[in-house]
Amino acid sequence: MEFNVSNINVDKAHFLSAISIYLYKPHVVNKRVTTVRFASALNRDDKKYSTGTNVVDKRTLIAKNPRIYHDQDEYILSNDISVEFRPIVLYSMGTKSCCVQVSAYRFELIVHENKIRFTVFDDKVDKEMLWLKDSLLPKFIKWCQSNIENSTENTTLKLISIEEYQREYERLKFSSIHTRLFNHFGIDITHEHADPQQSNHRSSLIKSKPEFYSTKFSIIQFLFEHLLTENKSLTLSAAYDLLPNELGEQLKSENGGLKSIILSYRHAIKFDPETKLITIADPQLNSITLKKKESSKLSVKTKPCFFYAFHPNSCPLTDEQCAFFHCEK
């Protein structure tokens, strides 16, 4: 499949600059990627793509979230007017690639026609093809027409590499989610109490404002409990007016508005696009069986079940059935 962008004033220098940006900073356009690592040496199999006009290299795109995406290797075939990327297809049961899984794609500068040709060596139109055409290609054209000074990673200023940093960040983030979750429900996992009869609620009781997901979680908890108490739906504007002043101020610094926060917690409360009303969600829809039908990814429980935590009748689903955490109180 071929796409041509014509009538653009791009010289070789700007074209190569755009290639360099995508080679060394793929995370600028691909949010699944945290950094890139180039092969220190090529073996005999890697060199099979080498020709008299092409330079062959190999890079690995490092996934930002390794629990969902796996790293992706790619061959790079380049010369002074084109660059071709050939992802090495890997099959993983638990994760999917952090980049496109097409056979190959190429950027080519047609100098005498003031044209950039983008070729994808795949005929099927899917999400990956659309991402290449609608996200990567426009960004690449923008780089070609901008005087952006490219720079590679300056490792001398870092104590550890970006890869090590990202792995440690994900480990701490995952651990922190579980720690804050247990603390929020009054479960002490610090093992400070030797006596099993001693209350584990002491640390949570002295907190002036216990939180799990900071502002977003507090907003949803407030609206969830209000809907339970009043037993009637809310409009978005009414929900805004109900929020305490502190939460209202904090909401201003959050990405997106109240509607986007509600949509990210649709397992607790839901927004109906037709009636424009906010109501309590149906807990039966939080079943793991239903969730797996919507997504083939392995589920990792990282959010609490609002019905188990805050509803007077608790959650109608068992811990095994529910897609969200049931913490013993």
Q: Is residue 46 part of a domain?
A: no
Same domain, 137 and 259: no
Contacts of 1 (CB under 8 A, 6+ apart): 119, 120, 122, 123, 125, 129
Same domain, 7 and 117: yes
Same domain, 138 and 265: no
Same domain, 222 and 119: no
Strands 105-110 and 234-235: unpaired
From first to last of its 329 residues, the chain has per-residue pLDDT tens of 889 898 888 888 999 999 999 999 999 899 888 888 888 777 766 666 666 667 788 899 988 877 778 888 999 998 889 999 998 877 666 677 878 877 889 999 998 888 999 999 887 777 888 889 899 999 999 999 887 655 455 555 556 666 677 667 666 655 554 455 445 444 444 444 433 433 343 333 334 344 444 688 889 888 998 898 888 899 999 998 888 888 888 888 877 789 999 998 888 999 998 999 999 998 888 777 665 555 545 456 667 888 888 888 888 888 888 888 886 54
We report the CATH number of the domain holding residue 80 as 3.30.530
Q: Is residue 181 part of a domain?
A: no
Q: Is residue 316 part of a domain?
A: no
Residue that finishes a domain, picked among 102, 126, 147: 147
Q: Is residue 180 part of a domain?
A: no
Residue 74, burial from CB neighbour count under 10 angstroms (0-12, 13-18, 19+): buried
Same domain, 22 and 121: yes
Domain with 94, as residue range(s), is 2-39+52-147
The rounded distance, in Å, linking the Cα atoms of 306 and 91 is 36
pTM for the full model? 0.49
Same domain, 128 and 217: no
Which residue's structure tokens are 């990282």?
302
| Structural domains of the chain, count | 2
Residue that finishes a domain, picked among 147, 177, 201: 147
